[in-house]
Every structure is written in structure tokens, then in C-alpha cells.
A and B are shown apart, each in its own frame.
Chain A
């Protein structure tokens, strides 16, 4: 094969199908690396587009693209142009197969992928930065612009924080000394403590199971009507943490009162 023919097949669009067949022949029969390079170049947009389909996963895009490219190389080796199928119809399953294998090998079934955790921490930090800048909590689109992430990635990060104990600075201390306080104690208000006596016994018992700081948090949100950002500032923790702890305490309260009513 002369260099002149090679050059023609790279630069002339006319008769593209024949040229492709020619390139495949060059690569598969003669292992001509230039032919492979030309084919890779030709199908890189396809590969990139497939990698982008998994881009909202927890893996960095560069890693995804690399795995997809390995799939492309395998497809270039195995494609048989004489069977009458188009290369994309053969390459797409091969490339996707490579990516799916990669996800399995990377232990995606492990509880929470590390990429998700890191992203959640980034979102948390950005939330604080933007809150300080604007004086109120940011929206998801502000966060996604600031972090150059997809809206969906930010939404997922907000959900993910619910799952991470590692973000917590205040693991609950059931049975700890301060846990025997009634709900109002942390607030320093006699009236609130008094009112508690009037409460349904089940609920009182349930609230006693909630760690003191989370009880205080519930009080700030539901009785004092502070926003989560205001609570976060008061307790010197992040709003995400407030969100998570509030959700957990409410879940706990519901579970405790549910159990009691089922007895």
C-alpha cells in the first residue's frame, strides 16, 4: 500500500464507505498503525458521545472516555466489514460492554461510590461559600454553575449527603449524659420544659431518644421558625448537615411513635 493511496483514503470524503472498508483491510490484514489511527480519529466522536451518556455517573469523564476508547479499539479489531453491517451498529454494543464491565470491576455495587462522596463534599463547601456571598442559601442552578456540574449531579449530591455518616461532626450519643434532658432544656426556657408535661407520653418518650443537639435543632426549625441556614450558622455546622440531621430525627421520631403505637 502506497502512502499516496493512504493519503487519499484519509482526505477524500467521496466514497467514504469504500475508504472505510479499505482502512479496515489495512488495519486488520496488515496491522498498519496509520490506518488504525485514522479509524480511531473517525470514530472518536461516536466514542465520546457514548462516554458522555454515563457522564452523570460518579466517574470522572476522562476515565469514562478512556474506557470507551479501549472498547473502540476492541471493536476495530473484531469488526468484519464483509458482513454487511455498519461499523457503529457493531461498535456501540462493544464500547458500552467495555464501560459496563469497567463499572462492575470498579465495585459499583459497593455502598456509595467515592466519586459521589467527593462531589457531595464539594457541593457542601460551595453551599457555604455561596451562602456567605449572597446572604442566603443558593439554588441548585447557582451551585451547578459555580461547580460546573450538571443540575442532576447537584440534586444527587444533595440526596447523597443523607447517606454519609462521614459528613457528621456529631454522631448521636444515645444514653449520653445530656440525652436525659427533656426537649426544652437545651433552649433554656422554663415554659417549654413545663409544656412538655402536657404532651402525649409516647411522644415525650420518643423525643427523649433524640440526642440533645438534634432536639435543639428541631426546636429551632419548628418552634422558632429559623431557616436551616440560620440554624447552621447558630450551631456552626453546614446547612447540609442540618438537613440530614433534621431528616434523621424526624425519621427516628416517626419510627419510635410507630413502634409504640404497634405495641
Chain B
């Protein structure tokens, strides 16, 4: 599983609120593949345990990266929760020290298989497979490098989201935008706008993105969201903005985002959007 490219990859910091981001991503995937509510809850619960471990123990209380990969296969769903922390000396002890020492038991009960593997760059991979009768294998991210994101946000983005194929983003990206807007202390007004914006992006991304992988970097500041969508073909970012126009209603992007800008970086373009909620 770790060798094949994932369908969804989230790169986050190991904060408790980011565990909610992971859970919302799982709900979006569940909706996309028609996963039964009860199976979805099992996946969410087990993955939450693995993420909580990264939040609480992997970096011994320090901040550090949390990566979650999702793989869709025929009738099953794989999730890798990865950290670059202290690692698991022999036994997955850190999971055992979770509240009541039952995190590991929970994962073992809910996942069909679970492996604890030492990561390439240190740290630990928790690799879990779940049954998902409705799932089928989807063409995953190709060459899962970071070459698509040559234009990073100033500082570190709060969340990097990669989704392939792009059609999978329809149920995932709006949820993630709602969640990140909530973390940015947006009012429900602007949270809903963020969702409408994500809908429009997903609808038109297919035609603008080079390849079939959508990469979204989001920076969350109080009352401020900076969203970078890439990699778009030359001239296609502007075309996407145009495509969201609804005649006299104006453009969804132009109207709902406080600022939009096309950034050029060599072979591709990045659409940069800023949403704020000054109230």
C-alpha cells in the first residue's frame, strides 16, 4: 500500500483540530463510494485513534507533521497514518499509553488488517485496511512527488490536500473547506460561501488542471483563508475563473473570494484565492 500512490493525501500539523480535518476527509470519501454509515464510523474511529497517537505521543508533546494517505482498492479502503516522530521501539507502546491504553485494541478490532511500520524518514506508518464493499480501485495520484506544488505559500500551509482522480474531490473538498473555514473562526455565513467556492472549483477543475490530480494548499489564519489550487495549464486558471461566471450574476469566484490571483510558475499556473471574514 505504501508503495503505490494514494488517491487522497493530507499533509497537516499534528494538532487536535486537524484530526477533525482527517475525519471530514474520510466522510467525503465515504460519501463518494457509498460507504455504509456504520462502516464509515469504524474507519473514522480507527483512523482517529492512529491520528490521536500522532497528536499526543509521536513528537512527545512537540509540533510535527501528520500525513494521512487514503487508497481505494476493489472492495476495500486503505489508510496510512504517518508521522516522523520518535518511532515505535519494538512494540507500538505509544498507542498503548493512550487514554486507558486501548487505542491499539480499537484499531485492531475495527480494521481488517493493521501494520505498524517504521517510516522511511523515521517515525511510524500505521497502515490499516478496511472492508468497503462498494469501493473500486481508482486511478491514483501519479508520481506522488511534490513537483506540482512548486509555488508554496509563504510560511507553511496549514493543510495540503492532494486528490486523484479529480472527480473524487466533489465530496471531499467542500467538506474540507467548511472545516478549515470553521477553524479560521469564520461565521456560518462565510463558511457557506467557502463551500460554494469549493463546489465551483471542483466543477471546473477537471478542465483546468494538468493531469488528473488536484493539489490544494490552504493557510488558515484567524478570519482568513488563503487557498492555492494547482497545477493548472497556462491560461487555464483565468479560464476557470471565467467558467464560474453566471451571466449577470457575475462570477462565483470573483464574487465570493476577497481576492483572486493567477500565479505563474514555469510550466503551470496556480490559482490563489483569499477569503476573509471581517464581519
- Which A positions have Cβ atoms within 8 angstroms of B? 45-46, 49-50, 53-54, 56-57, 88-89, 92-93, 96-97, 100, 103-104, 108-109, 113, 127, 136-141, 143, 151-152, 154-156, 158-159, 183-184, 192, 195-196, 199-200, 203-204, 207, 218-219, 221-223, 225, 227-229, 239-240, 242-243, 246-247, 250-251, 253-254
Quick one: CB contact mask for B194-236 with A, threshold 8 Å, 1 for yes? 0110011001000000000000000000000000000000000
Contact between chains at A88 and B189 (CB < 8 Å):
no
Which B residues are in CB contact (< 8 Å) with A88?
100-102, 105
B36: nearest chain-A partner, CB-CB? A109
Q: Least Cβ distance of A39 to chain B in Å?
A: 16
Contact between chains at B17 and A53 (CB < 8 Å):
no
Q: Tell me the complex Cα distance, A247–B252, Å.
A: 11
Contact between chains at B187 and A139 (CB < 8 Å):
yes
Residues in B20-77 with C-beta less than 8 Å from chain A: 20, 23-24, 27, 36-38, 41-42, 45, 48-49
Q: A108-B41, A139-B186 are in contact. List 10 more A-B contacts (CB 8 A).
A: A56-B23, A88-B100, A103-B37, A109-B36, A140-B191, A141-B185, A158-B178, A199-B248, A200-B247, A207-B247
Ordered by A's residue number, 23 sampled pairs between the chains whose C-beta atoms are within 8 Å are: A57-B41, A92-B102, A93-B108, A97-B109, A100-B38, A100-B42, A109-B37, A127-B188, A139-B188, A141-B182, A141-B185, A155-B178, A183-B248, A199-B247, A207-B246, A219-B249, A221-B255, A223-B248, A227-B189, A228-B192, A247-B192, A247-B195, A247-B199
Q: Least Cβ distance of A115 to chain B in Å?
A: 11
User: Are A50 and B41 also in contact (CB < 8 A) when A140-B188, A219-B249 are?
Assistant: no
Q: Tell me the complex Cα distance, A253–B178, Å.
A: 22
Q: Least Cβ distance of A94 to chain B in Å?
A: 9
Q: Least Cβ distance of B244 to chain A in Å?
A: 9
Question: Of A46, A140, A156, which one neighbours B102 at CB under 8 angstroms?
Answer: A46
Q: Least Cβ distance of B190 to chain A in Å?
A: 8
Residues in B159-201 with C-beta less than 8 Å from chain A: 175, 178-179, 182, 185-193, 195-196, 199-200
Question: Of B48, B106, B255, which one neighbours A50 at CB under 8 angstroms?
Answer: B106
Q: Least Cβ distance of A69 to chain B in Å?
A: 15
A116: nearest chain-B partner, CB-CB? B37
Contact between chains at B48 and A136 (CB < 8 Å):
no
User: Are A49 and B102 also in contact (CB < 8 A) when A54-B45, A103-B38, A251-B199 are?
Assistant: yes
Contact between chains at B20 and A243 (CB < 8 Å):
no
Verify if B250 is at the interface (C-beta below 8 Å from A).
Answer: yes
The DSSP consensus for interface residues of chain B is helix
Of A53, A97, A151, most B-chain CB atoms within 10 Å: A53
Which A residues are in CB contact (< 8 Å) with B203?
254
**How many inter-chain contacts with C-beta < 8 Å in the A-B complex?**
145
Which B residues are in CB contact (< 8 Å) with A223?
248-250
A221: nearest chain-B partner, CB-CB? B255
Which A residues are in CB contact (< 8 Å) with B41?
54, 57, 103, 108
Contact between chains at B100 and A140 (CB < 8 Å):
no
Contact between chains at A243 and B192 (CB < 8 Å):
yes
Contact between chains at B255 and A222 (CB < 8 Å):
yes
Contact between chains at B37 and A158 (CB < 8 Å):
no
Contact between chains at B100 and A46 (CB < 8 Å):
yes
Which A residues are in CB contact (< 8 Å) with B147?
none
Q: Least Cβ distance of B247 to chain A in Å?
A: 4
Q: Least Cβ distance of B118 to chain A in Å?
A: 24
Which A residues are in CB contact (< 8 Å) with B17?
151
Q: Tell me the complex Cα distance, A247–B175, Å.
A: 13
Which B residues are in CB contact (< 8 Å) with A154?
182
Which B residues are in CB contact (< 8 Å) with A192?
248
Verify if B121 is at the interface (C-beta below 8 Å from A).
Answer: no
Q: Tell me the complex Cα distance, A207–B246, Å.
A: 9
Which B residues are in CB contact (< 8 Å) with A219?
249
Which A residues are in CB contact (< 8 Å) with B255?
221-222, 225
